[in-house]
Amino acid sequence: MALYDMHSHILPDFDDGAETVEDSLALIDSLVKQGVTNICLTPHFYTNERSLEDFVTERNSAFSKFLPEIPEGVNVVLGSEVYVTPFLFNNTNLNDITYGKSRYILTEFSYSASFKNKTMQQIYMLIENFRVMPVIPHVERYETLMSKPEIIEELKSMGILIQSNIGNYTEKASYFRKRKLLKYISGGLIDILGSDAHSFKHNTPEVFREAYRTISAKCGANRAELLMENAEKVFTAAVNGENTISRNKFYADLID
């Protein structure tokens, strides 16, 4: 089973993640040793702090410099972790900040968001006006989503994907949070995993295999494999320029 890290801050010298090329390569090496050879580079894009054009120019430049350093056998997709604010909607399109060539976009909202009114309006605008499909990162950080799984079900019915960080499934993780997240995985409420790796001290990728084993043991091997199958579909879409996950016919035209 191929393993996929769908959220990382491994792109060097760009945001608050890896500081140097050497740091980045060490993080990648840690993932590879655990069998993770498919990695999404998703640096922070704070839409209230810089323009999309400046972000894309600087991110792409950093990636171009790093690309020759990426080890053979490691597949990478360039994306971004987009903090959604009203400024984001001043742009004509968001094609340059999705996962690669796909229309999936890693979208971070305020952790206090109620996922009513304002937030849902922003989500509808992303889907209907910009024709991109949100991926909600580190679901465990949203109090509303952790206390109201029915809202996750509503989001997923629209085609939205839910991502969780591997650090929540280790021996050192919070017992109660881990138990709830494992229940979410068993219930199909979480779609993909990511390390959210910044360094070996901040969301270390060293626990990826441990997290995967825990999920497999507690939720079943089939459920763990499904997380990777979902990730593979997004990764493939990012490389080939097609969306392959759509849960609602109303949004089926996203794959056109």
CA distance 71 to 61: 19
Listed as ranges, residues in the chain with pLDDT below 70 are 242-256
- Provide the pLDDT for residue 143: 97
CA distance 45 to 82: 5
The H or E element that residue 28 is part of is helix 21-33
CA distance 100 to 97: 8
Residue 171 DSSP symbol: T
- Provide the pLDDT for residue 252: 44
Measure CA 223 to chain center.
18
- Provide the pLDDT for residue 245: 42
3-state secondary structure of 91: coil
CA distance 115 to 121: 9
- Provide the pLDDT for residue 1: 84
pTM given for the model: 0.94
User: Token pair of 160, please?
Assistant: 């939205």
Residue with tokens 């390390």: 195
pLDDT in tens, 224-246: 999 999 999 999 999 998 654 44
Residue 175 makes CB contacts below 8 A (sequence gap 6+) with none
User: Token pair of 183, please?
Assistant: 């229940």
Query: Is residue 167 within 8 Å of 173, Cβ to Cβ?
Result: yes
